[in-house]
Amino acid sequence: MIQEPSLMEEREGLQNSLQQNLKQESQINKDLKENSLKLVFNSNLCLFKSLKTKFGCFVCKDSFLNIKDLREHSKKHSNAEVIKTKFNRLRGMSYQNADISNLECTKCGQTFLNLTDLKKHLIENHEIKFGDAEHFLIPYNLQDSFQCVLCSEKFNTYMRLSVHMNNHYSNNVCEICGNSYINRISLRIHLQTRHKEKKCSLCSDIFLSSYARVRHMRTHHNSSMSKRYCLVCGKTFLYTYQLVEHKILEHGAKRQLNKCSLCPKTFLNLQNLKIHIRSVHVRERNFPCNACEMRFFTKFDQKRHEKTHLDEKTYVCGICDSKFKGKDSLRRHLKRQHGQT
């Protein structure tokens, strides 16, 4: 079937426009890489990869717990061609992490607070030419704290800071929800955890969200197992504290500290804070002694105290054979008389 000339022209126009956009995007990526390499080769910034709990070397597979050790290790990779080859292999808007702690120009030793000032210095003082584009570097200052170099917001972990940096870059946008991410890896993780169909590992059911899958998974397990499920990766845990630690160590969740409003004490668990307030500040005493007027916060404390009213001395010192009614009395005796702690 012969298409009308107008449709043919429209298709050719769309194809030409697409090719032109791809060519323009390719040139922008090329300029971004070249600008990035000029900043890398003329300064002491340190490229690194974000791992779960470590900082990975940009060139090799080594990783380190702190950025200072990685900086010392990176001095071994002085071959510029190797770094250039690594950069040229990057595809798309693949931004790279760069620690700019104590940033300085390697040509003259002048120091800078950010990459913008360094770039301006290289242009004006060393006649290094940069393209119109910016660069592929995401700046971090990890020497002393986890503070964003772009807006000065502070975080208690690097993972939280890394997630925050997505707010400053909109180069990789999710077409489903519109969230933006620094690089394609972060976008891919987002798609897999938020928009990919979640399949039950024990049956053929499919769910649109991790939460729905988790609720369904509980139907396959005996309720007496009391398992907890991670909504991000689907791992299961027997106790809640294990799930909380997993989220902090594996997914960068912030450790929640529950501060008492009546004293300086803090608690990792909200329930422990409530118990502290009831016991120490409210002085709740719902369990009275059956032999005297004393009252106690827990039934355990009540029963332990009531033993002091009995004539039975069931706790014997293994050193001098002295007998006591309770463990506390024996413990005090051992400390005072025998110097044991």
53-101 per-position pLDDT tens digit = 789 999 998 989 889 999 999 999 888 898 888 887 876 667 888 999 9
Pair (52, 138) in one structural domain:
yes
- Segment among 76-80, 110-114, 134-138, 221-225 with least mean pLDDT: 221-225
Pair (135, 26) in one structural domain:
yes
Domain with 311, as residue range(s), is: 287-338
Residue 294 lies in a domain: yes
Residue 262 lies in a domain: no
Residue that wins the pLDDT comparison between 215 and 143: 143
Among the three residues 128, 144, 160, which one is the final residue of a domain in this structure? 144
Among the three residues 144, 177, 212, which one is the final residue of a domain in this structure? 144
Task: Express as a percent the part of the chain with pLDDT over 90.
Answer: 17
pLDDT at 135 over 80: yes
Rounded average pLDDT over 294-322: 82
pTM here? 0.50
Which residue blocks in the chain are alpha helix, DSSP H? 5-41, 67-74, 80-88, 115-126, 158-164, 184-190, 210-217, 240-251, 270-276, 299-306, 327-338
- Segment among 52-61, 129-138, 229-238 with least mean pLDDT: 229-238
Pair (128, 201) in one structural domain:
no
Counting Cα atoms < 13 Å in the Cβ hemisphere of 236 gives 12
Residue 162 lies in a domain: no
Pair (208, 299) in one structural domain:
no
**How far out from the chain centre does Cα 54 lie?**
11
Q: Which CATH number do you get for residue 327?
A: 3.30.160.60
Average pLDDT value over all residues in the chain:
79
Pair (63, 108) in one structural domain:
yes
Pair (138, 28) in one structural domain:
yes
**Could you read off the pLDDT of 285-297 as tens digits, one per residue?**
888 888 888 899 8
Pair (125, 29) in one structural domain:
yes
Residue 155 lies in a domain: no
Q: What is the pLDDT of residue 247?
A: 84
Burial class of residue 71 (count of CB atoms within 10 Å of its CB; 0-12, 13-18, 19+)? buried
Which residue blocks in 113-266 are alpha helix, DSSP H? 115-126, 158-164, 184-190, 210-217, 240-251
Residue 101 lies in a domain: yes
The count of domains in the chain is: 3
**Could you read off the pLDDT of 163-182 as tens digits, one per residue?**
788 778 766 666 666 665 66
Contacts with 238 (C-beta within 8 Å, 6 or more apart), sequence order? 225, 226, 227, 228
